[in-house]
Structure 1
Amino acid sequence: MSDLRTAAREAYAYALPLIEVATTRQRGQALGQRMGVFAHVRSLANHKHRAVTTPNTDTLYSTAQVDLSAGPVTITLPPAGDRYLSVALMDAYTNNFAVLGTRTTGPDGGTFRLVGPGEAVEGWNVVRSPTHHVWVLARVLVEGPHDLEAAREVQAGLSMQGPPCEAPGPYADRNAGWRDYFASAAALMAANPPPVTDLAILRRMAPLGLLEGFDADRFSEAEAAEMEAGVAEAREAVRGGGGLGGTQFVDGWSYPDARLGDFDQDYALRAAVALGGLAALPPAEAMYMQAEGPGPRRLFDGTKAWRLHFPADRHLPVDSFWSLSLYEAMPDGQFFFCDNPLDRYAIGDRTPGLTRNADGSLDIWIGHDSPGTEREGNWLPAPAGPFALFMRAYLPRPELLRGYYRMPPVELA
């Protein structure tokens, strides 16, 4: 029975990305989103947006769920010029197998053919997915309120064409009991077979019979108790897994694992990101760094005043932009924006009214209470409770990617 407990623990974490993507797809369907068609979010995220954990408020999102078992899909990117644009293509296990856009395909747009595994299609513009189910997530930079309409025009140039297909499911969510959770995991794995490089963990999960079609009724009460215990252990481990930022901190900040966004065999990292940072980009596209707070789960207390100070010669090295986002911490390990008097959920190099000190340095003031009228342009409001800070650095330069540059710590003001 100990093998069942271990198998259940590993299988819960292994399948969590599949489950989270399916849950996201089902939420979209409930809002009328169709398979194989871009749904454009025409406004920036705020405290009311709670569909996906750790959202950003710097870019407009466009999202599409695709089933390539029905045939190839054509994706068109518009010319974006100097504006940051990325179109992430994620397989069913949340690996970014390609990112189209500013960094990779350039500023002039283009048309690309997305094909499934085993599809006999070739060409310079063909992108092959490892799984039939693909989540396409586009981000279009908004420079500020004055730029929203121009960003929407670029967003409107994104399009997708392909054969009609029905949405799969329904599937259980991450809080379901072990019976429904593993039944859904088995169905999702059948539709999106794991790669051969996962054979080692699949053998450890074999006592559950997920690849043969899960049959919950074949387990005794004692075996069911072992599986419940394994699932409970996995849930606790995933909640403490660090999400976007990881668990290792240097001078008050965590830095992304090189495998973020394309996880290889790091199933623990993949599960933690599925819970705490679903759809994260790989570091070459954007680096996500979490500040280390003194409280439980490395969180900060909004009733205290905090400061992030960038010396004049230590500004973030990026080729696009940077943004510091503040999130209210949820008990289940997820993070969302919180309501505040400035309607400000992030602060960055494009924030209107942001001012530097006379010597060129930069102070960002963080907390529930205003730091004073003269500092409000540099204020990032917090809830009167636990919160997390994440820095996003888009198109990081080599010194940031390779660890030569380190963020200054967040300190009590």
Structure 2
Amino acid sequence: MSSELAGPGALTRMPESFVRAMGRVAYIWGWPMVSMINRRTALTSVPEPGLRGGVLPNAPVGRVCMMTDYIPAGQRFVACTNQDVLYGFGFGSLDEQPAVFQIPDFGDRFWVAAAWDHRTDSFAEMGKQYGTKPGFYAVVGPNWKGELPAGITGSFRSSTALAAFCPRVFIEDTPEDRAKVMELLPYVTIYPLDQFDGTMKTEDWANVPTFPVPGEATEGEIRWVDPAHFFDQLPEVLATVPPLPGEEALYGQFRRLLAAAEASPEVKKTLVDVAHETEREAITPLLRWEFNGPAAGNNWFSPTNNSAFGTDYLTRTAIARSNMFENTPRETKYLFTDTDIDGAPLDGTHTYTVHFPAGELPPVNGFFSLTLYNEHHFYYENDLGRYSLGTKNPDLVHGTDGSLTLYVGNTPPPDTPPANWLPAPTTAFSLYIRAYWPQPPILDTTWTPPRVERTN
């Protein structure tokens, strides 16, 4: 093939090296947004709110489906789910039709209702930490020109028409708390603005239909970005996601690259090759937590700008690859590690302790948890059905000095309090701390996460 690849008539010829370099940048930059397009397409292709495979909430555009239990093991739609909250999920097309978040009175219970734009930045502030009052909250698109009706409590505007929704409601792992949450849950819903009539609607979330899971099951997350078609989908991103200040030139370069590919089969083939290479060499490594944020102490890592990425393309894409749909730091602080205190990879052929000294539990106003994920960032299925430990577990055994030691391994070490054991596979795994509604010490990094120490 020629070392120079021809573009359309008015375009300067592009050396293959330039196509490869710019194509790689475009792939890394656009990966989260192409992922959003494909998730929306797949997760809204149902006639009514329901559960895919009986495990993951799906809903038509503009709606949400709420779960009545923790997300179980086995689903491969979304990596790094948790066993702390009841999830809801949905997508909106907010220029065509705003959506209404219906918020009941949660009392003292922790809850948060997130909404992300096409870039995966959070744009709505609804939750206990914001002092949000019960009512009806509209989320609208950047080009929506309508007038909100009387009775709407507040509104938030997205920078893009495409948006994702995720209400979360904390639940303790006890029959008593489950019963209390079930009284609230029917009033938690999202629906299109044209269905708003000023009254609190109810949904029977315990009896939604089940829809089949398309495609074959895999060990890892569903492949939401296909390198073979990435550059066919990138034009939709450029057309519907406005550039951030300073990105105009970048958009221009990407459009020239796509124009050259449209005019030249050689350029198009090169871009497809680049997409496959970049997926393998640049995107796949982002599953490792060390690329998802700066060091947080004791070999843990933590993003400081989750869901508010700006032009931090590395962190945006790393989180989209490893842990899509994080809350903002003010809502949730995330800390994760693939290694122990000595830097050795976590491996279930060994056992570990995670020790919180007295007074050193994650400083939160909401709750915290420690979750274990397998090498693909999904639950390790075990006979106990136990994937995390934390605030939701009132039976954890603390030391006489108030400290807390959690034990991690494929089998519990001798003399381990059964409630403090977190089962692990016999292969590689990672650990993940969630701190909902974090206090200043965890936000300003003066709090240090616990040591993970190998015990055998």
Structure-1-length-normalised TM-score: 0.87
Kept in 2: contact 1:7–1:230 (CA 8 A): no
Is residue 215 of structure 2 the alignment partner of residue 186 of structure 1? no
1:398 maps onto 2:410 in alignment? no
| Matched AA of 1:307 | T
1:119 pairs, out of 134, 138, 144, with 144
> Does residue 110 in structure 1 map to residue 110 in structure 2?
no
Residue 205 (structure 1) aligns with: 254
Query: Following TM superposition, by how much is the alpha carbon of 1:373 offset from its aligned partner in structure 2, in angstroms?
Result: 6.2
Q: d(CA) in 1 for partners of 2:300 and 2:340?
A: 14
AA aligned to 2:240 is A
- Per the TM alignment, residue 54 of structure 1 is displaced from its structure 2 partner at its CA by 0.6
Q: Secondary structure at the match of 2:88?
A: strand
Q: Deviations over 1:244-281 (max 9, x none)?
A: 66254343243433221111001111111111010011
Distance 1:162 1:141 in 2: 25
Structure 1 stretches of 4+ moved >4 Å: 121-124, 172-175, 214-217, 242-245
Could you say which residue in structure 1 is the equivalent of 2:278? 233
Question: Aligned ranges for residues 10-409 of structure 1 at < 5 Å?
Answer: 10-30=25-45, 32=47, 33-106=59-132, 108-120=133-145, 125-146=154-175, 147-162=177-192, 174-178=224-228, 180-209=229-258, 216-221=261-266, 224-225=269-270, 228-229=273-274, 231-241=276-286, 246=292, 248-293=294-339, 299-330=345-376, 335-372=377-414, 374-409=416-451
Structure 1 residues 173, 339: CA separation in 2 closer, same or farther (over 3 Å shift)? closer
Q: Give 3-state SS (helix, strand or coil) of 1:70's partner.
A: coil
In 2, the alpha carbon distance for the partners of 1:294 and 1:255 equals 12
How far 1:242 sits from its partner (Å)?
A: 5.5
CA contact (8 A) 1:115 1:121 kept: no
Question: Residue deviations 1:102-141, cap 9 Å, x none?
Answer: 11243x3221121111333578722111001111111110
Q: Which moved more, 1:38-47 or 1:261-270?
A: 38-47
Letter in 2 for 1:405: W
The alpha-carbon deviation at position 361 of structure 1 amounts to 1.1
Q: Tell me how far apart the structure 1 counterparts of residues 289 and 350 of structure 2 sit (CA, whole Å).
A: 24
| 1:21–1:294 CA distance, 2 compared to 1 (3 A) | same
Contact 1:258/1:283 (<8 A) preserved: yes
TM-score, structure 2 normalization? 0.80
Q: In the TM superposition, what is the alpha-carbon distance from 1:304 to its structure 2 partner? A: 0.2
What is the count of residue pairs matched by the alignment? 396
Q: 2:23 aligns with which of 8, 12, 29?
A: 8
Q: Give a deviation string over 1:46-89, Cα, whole Å, max 9, x none.
A: 22122101111111111121111213222221111111111111
Partners of 1:164 and 1:66 in 2: how far apart?
A: 13
1:299/1:54 CA distance change after superposition, 3 Å: farther
Distance 2:191 2:416 in 1: 51
Q: Identity across aligned pairs (percent)? A: 26
Q: What is the SS of the residue equivalent to 2:435?
A: strand
Output one character per residue of 1:162-205: Cα deviation in whole Å (capped at 9) or x when no partner: 2689xxxxxx9545244x21112212432344444422432443
Q: CA deviation at 1:13?
A: 1.7
Instruction: Output the aligned Cα RMSD.
Output: 2.7
Change (3 A) 1:19 1:151: farther
CA distance in 2, matches of 1:300, 1:376: 21
Alpha-carbon contact 2:34-2:225 (below 8 Å) kept: no
Shift of 1:44: 0.4
- Which sections of structure 1, spanning at least 5 residues, go unmatched? 166-171
Residues 207 and 174 of structure 1, relative CA distance in 2, 3 Å threshold: farther
Q: For residue 229 of structure 1, what is the amino acid of its counterpart?
A: V
Letter in 2 for 1:241: L
Deviates more, 1:181-190 or 1:120-129: 120-129
What is the CA–CA distance in structure 1 between the aligned matches of 2:263 and 2:388, rounded to whole Å?
Answer: 51
Contact 1:364 1:379 in 2 (8 A): yes
Paired residue type of 1:114: V
The one of the two structures with greater contact order (alpha-carbon pairs below 8 A, sep at least 6) is 1
Q: Using a 3 Å threshold, how does the CA distance of structure 1 residues 197 and 134 change in structure 2: closer, same or farther?
A: farther
Aligned counterparts of 1:298 and 1:289: Cα–Cα separation in 2: 18
Amino acid at match of 1:153: E
Q: Deviations over 1:336-381 (max 9, x none)?
A: 0011121100011231421001121111000111224642210000
Closer/same/farther in 2, CA of residues 3 and 206 from structure 1, 3 Å limit: farther
TM-superposed CA distance for 1:217, in Å, is 4.7
**Alignment partner of 1:353: what SS?**
coil
Q: Distance in 2 between matches of 1:291 and 1:345?
A: 16
* Contact 1:9/1:231 (8 A) holds in 2: no
Contact 2:340–2:452 (Cα < 8 Å) also in 1: no
SS of corresponding position for 2:129:
coil
**Higher deviation after alignment, 240-249 or 86-95:** 240-249
